[in-house]
Amino acid sequence: MKQLLSLLTIAGLALVACGRDDESSSTASSPSTGESTAATDPAAADSFPVTIEHKYGETTVPEEPTRVVSIGFSDQDLLLALGVTPIAIRDWYGDQPYATWPWAQDELGDAEPEVLSSTELNFEQIAALDPDLIVGVSSGMTDADYATLSQIAPTLAQSGDYIDYGMPWDAATEMIGAATGTSVEAAEVIERVEGMFAAVRDEHPEFTGATAGVTFLFEGDPGGYASQDSRARLLGELGFVTPPEFDELSGDAFFFTVSSEDISVLDTDVIVWIVGSDDIIAELAELPTRQGLTAFAEGREVVTDALVSGAFSFGSPLSIEYLLENLVPELALAVDGDPATAVPSAEAIGGGAAGPASETGDEADEQAAIDTFTTVFDSAVPFADKADLLENGAALQAAAEAYTAAGETMGGITLAPTGAVIDGDTATITYDVLFGGTAAYEALTKTITRVDGAWIVSQAAFCEFLSSARVVCP
């Protein structure tokens, strides 16, 4: 279990829990919203004693705490944002000084909190710190953990309204603010960060309604995060929408994985790859089924490096500012509607926007030809998306649908271009044939033509390939 936690965090999966343990018995009264029972006015709420409701019942903090221990994986950020310096911080990953990432170092200042292990909680160590408040909103603590911790000091767990590790940053900030007597500061922090999101939405209306998949590659298995995951929530704050399929596949967890042979569910308006190491970048670059995605062909992938991934995963008021500064420009390039626009971060994994190896200077023209070729010969692409790219398309509908059915039996058929040469109104495409994501034939060539300014696959070229796949074509 300890090794799994470490591996999952490095891979960008964030936390080891896959969802809440609904069969756990509470050691206190029934779960509730996580709101303070004090007055709703922030200034009035900063009086003690204060009672906070959470998934394991309620916790009363008798007086303003001065010795706060942070056992959540990202709670230190929220405490520091509120001006509360914890005496101990639970490590997560990244080997950061005092388990505090760069965006929070200024708030930590000269403090030297004790660092707690990222694995199992050491109750004896925590007790020896003599805390007067234990904050574990992002800890994933069990009811048994809570029972033990609450014997040491008043303990704050997450709200029961969300999946484990799924409490939104603003709700968590408000809860921690109430428990530490910093409700006024919490309201100010929330207002400031919400203003950042609003400014991005105003500047980029194209984000609103576009689908976005926050994705990863872990031990060879691609996957994505559900809408209740903190990273997906952050993109939602920018206007993006997590596809319903992500939630269906995740179930009660905050993420899901799929076979590397069929990653079509990840094909959203923009794919944001969470990357924690150079090894993962290399694996993504070599994942053959990526080249069958429309997002790849149209250059709509974004890659977050280790630091940006960390800011994304923390999703705290302190990390969000850093995240937006580095992520928003990439998102804007990815969804600008121009496949020829390169997304710089995606170049590390061979992003499709810049196109495959080129032998002419007109990269935009070559990319347009490649996009047509890829769309027409991808068995998973619906006929409606191919019809206008095919000569005599209406007559080829039955054949195209039969090709789709044949592809399903093989895990998908894709023709992955590796180069394009334009000669007037003729484009010669060099490509590999992939069955189920695995290259079966390499370095083949086929030509397509430009008709009235648009690249078109001729009926003869289309039917020639379908016949090799044993699909009858008129």
Angle at 164 between CA 247 and CA 75, to 5 degrees: 125
> For the domain 207-349, what is the CATH code?
3.40.50.1980
Count helices and strands (H / E) in the chain: 18, 17
Nearest Cα to Cα of residue 270 among 239, 247, 249 = 239
Give the other-Cβ count within 10 Å of 97's Cβ: 11
* Inter-CA distances, 224 with 61, 133, 240, 250, 460, Å: 38, 35, 15, 8, 39
Nearest Cα to Cα of residue 173 among 195, 197, 190 = 190
Q: Which amino acid is at 149?
A: L
Nearest Cα to Cα of residue 345 among 256, 284, 417, 258 = 284
Give yes or no on whether 2-195 and 207-349 have one common fold: yes
Q: Are the C-beta atoms of 79 and 86 separated by less than 8 Å?
A: yes
pTM of the model: 0.67
H or E stretch at 226: none
d(CA 341, CA 233): 26
Work out the angle between the directed axes of helices 169-180 and 317-334 (0-180°, nearest 10): 170
Can you give the pLDDT at residue 224? Answer: 97
Can you give the pLDDT at residue 43? Answer: 60
Cα distance from N-terminal residue to C-terminal residue, the chain: 58
Can you give the pLDDT at residue 45? Answer: 64
Can you give the pLDDT at residue 372? Answer: 94
Which two structure tokens, joined as six digits, stand for 59?
């916790």
Spans of all domains in the chain: 2-195, 207-349, 357-468
Angle at 380 between CA 471 and CA 225, to 5 degrees: 160
Which two structure tokens, joined as six digits, stand for 440?
């079966």
Residue with tokens 């905050």: 254
- Give the 3-state secondary structure of residue 74: coil
> For the domain 357-468, what is the CATH code?
3.10.450
Which two structure tokens, joined as six digits, stand for 143?
């009811």
Q: Are the C-beta atoms of 179 and 241 separated by less than 8 Å?
A: no
Give the other-Cβ count within 10 Å of 472's Cβ: 10
What is the topology classification, in CATH, of domain 2-195? Rossmann fold (3.40.50)
Q: Which residues of the chain have pLDDT under 50?
A: 1-39, 353-361
d(CA 158, CA 165): 8
- Give the 3-state secondary structure of residue 23: coil
Q: Are the C-beta atoms of 365 and 379 separated by less than 8 Å?
A: no
Can you give the pLDDT at residue 473? Answer: 81
Nearest Cα to Cα of residue 469 among 425, 416, 405 = 405
d(CA 244, CA 5): 27
- Give the 3-state secondary structure of residue 233: helix
Q: Are the C-beta atoms of 396 and 473 separated by less than 8 Å?
A: yes
Q: Kindly report, residue by residue over 153-175, the tens digit of the pLDDT.
A: 999 999 999 988 889 999 999 99
